[in-house]
């Protein structure tokens, strides 16, 4: 009898979809992990010496690798420096920002890109001073098309006028073209790589895909995603953030 070959599959993490991500930088600003996020922020700032970064996109090769956790915490850390920051949920397939910041998701970037609402209506204040968020809005049937539309250019111009920094929480590079489309428009891209979990070939593929659209890859953040979510979140296992390296 021949047994079918069982492919080892990484389980999609649904926790953050339901509850949002942990904002350690807000909840425990003096925690060692918050310090690590501050270091990441500083490293990102220094990774572009010639040009001041006005927009940054966080992505990874595959789903559930920590993009939202890292981008959201870096956004909090940045806003604490008294810079006016807007965090945009550009993951129109697995959005979490409305859960993390406990805001209504009836009106968001998808509505704006469809021309159904004004920018003022989708920018939401958060509990963190200087930090604003734009939720995804209802999940559209055609995210790639929406994110590639002309209205995105308008969105960029208007947001850059109002904020010091735009941070995009994007989908993974290897599954859909959404991240590539946006990566070509931002000043810098940061790749989140879960150490020991990411497949090397997947990360290389993601990097090549980003290079293909001439994205400015600032570096990678090594993130050690643990299965024992919350307990490891505040425990010693959660020590896997490293600086940005080329
Ligand atoms: N360093 C870490 N240590 C422990 N758990 C982590 C770490 N980073 C992320 N996680 C957990 O891993 C899960 C996935 O994280 P997150 O939602 O940030 O990933 P994502 O890449 O945004 O996923 P998606 O592809 O669905 O958007 C969450 O449960 C999160 O709490
Ligand atoms: Mg996410």
| CATH code (residue 117) | 3.40.50.300
Cβ–ligand 1 distance for 179 under 6 Å, the answer: no
Residues 228 and 207: their CA atoms lie apart, in Å, by 29
pTM for the structure as a whole: 0.90
Predicted local distance difference test score (pLDDT) of residue 12: 78
Minimum-distance ligand 1 atom for the alpha carbon of 15: 29
Cα separation, 36 vs 101, in Å, equals 21
Mean pLDDT is lowest, of 2-6, 65-69, 115-119, 142-146, for 2-6
User: With pLDDT > 70 as the criterion, what percentage of the chain qualifies?
Assistant: 87
- Ligand 1: residue of 225, 241, 242 to mutate (most ligand atoms within 8 A of CB) is 225
Cα–Cα–Cα angle for 8, 93, 186, rounded to 5 degrees? 105
Ligand 1 centroid to Cα of residue 94, in Å, is 12
pLDDT at 238 over 50: no
Instruction: Kindly state the average pLDDT of the residues 157-164.
Output: 97
User: Is 171 in contact with 58 (CB distance < 8 Å)?
Assistant: no
Q: Is residue 13 part of a domain?
A: no
Would residue 241 count as lying in a domain?
no
What number is the average pLDDT over the span 176-187? 96
Q: Residue 2: its pLDDT value, please? A: 42
DSSP state of 5: P
Q: Ligand 1 pocket, 140 CB below 6 A?
A: no
In whole angstroms, how far apart are CA 138 and each of 148, 157, 225, 232? Answer: 17, 23, 28, 32
Statement: residue 243 has pLDDT above 60: no
Residue 20 falls inside a structural domain: no
The total number of structural domains that make up the chain = 1
Identify whether 4 is part of a domain: no
Ligand located closest to 64 CA:
1
The band of 15, judged by pLDDT with boundaries at 50, 70 and 90, is very high
Which residue segment(s) compose the domain that 47 sits in?
Answer: 27-234
Locate 24 and state its tokens: 């350690």
Please compute the mean of the pLDDT values over residues 33-48 and round it to a whole number: 93
- For 93, phi and psi rounded to 5 degrees? -110, -40
How does the average pLDDT of the chain come out, rounded? 88
Least confident of 6-15, 50-59, 124-133, 196-205: 6-15
Nearest alpha-carbon partner for 62 in 228, 243, 229, 200: 200
């Amino acid at each position: 009898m021949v047994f079918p070959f069982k492919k080892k599959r990484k389980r999609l993490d649904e926790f953050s979809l339901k509850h949002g991500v942990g904002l350690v930088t807000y909840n425990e600003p003096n925690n060692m992990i918050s310090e690590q996020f501050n270091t990441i922020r500083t490293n990102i700032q220094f990774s572009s010496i010639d040009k001041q970064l006005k927009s940054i996109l966080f992505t990874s090769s595959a789903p559930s690798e920590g993009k939202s956790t890292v981008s959201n915490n870096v956004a909090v850390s940045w806003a604490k420096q008294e810079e006016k920051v807007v965090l945009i949920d550009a993951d129109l397939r697995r959005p979490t920002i409305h859960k993390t910041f406990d805001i209504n998701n009836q009106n968001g970037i998808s509505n704006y890109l469809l021309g159904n609402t004004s920018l003022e209506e989708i920018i939401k204040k958060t509990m963190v001073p200087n930090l604003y968020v734009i939720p995804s809005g209802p999940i559209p049937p055609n995210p790639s098309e929406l994110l590639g539309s002309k209205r995105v250019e308008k969105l960029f111009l208007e947001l850059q006028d109002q904020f010091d920094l735009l941070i995009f929480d994007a989908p993974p590079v290897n599954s859909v073209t959404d991240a590539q489309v946006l990566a070509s428009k931002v000043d810098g891209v940061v790749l989140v790589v879960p150490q020991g979990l990411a497949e090397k070939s997947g990360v290389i593929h993601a990097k090549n895909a980003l290079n293909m659209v001439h994205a400015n890859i600032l570096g990678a953040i090594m993130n050690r995603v643990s299965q024992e979510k919350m307990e490891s979140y505040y425990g010693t296992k959660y020590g896997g953030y490293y600086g940005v390296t080329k």
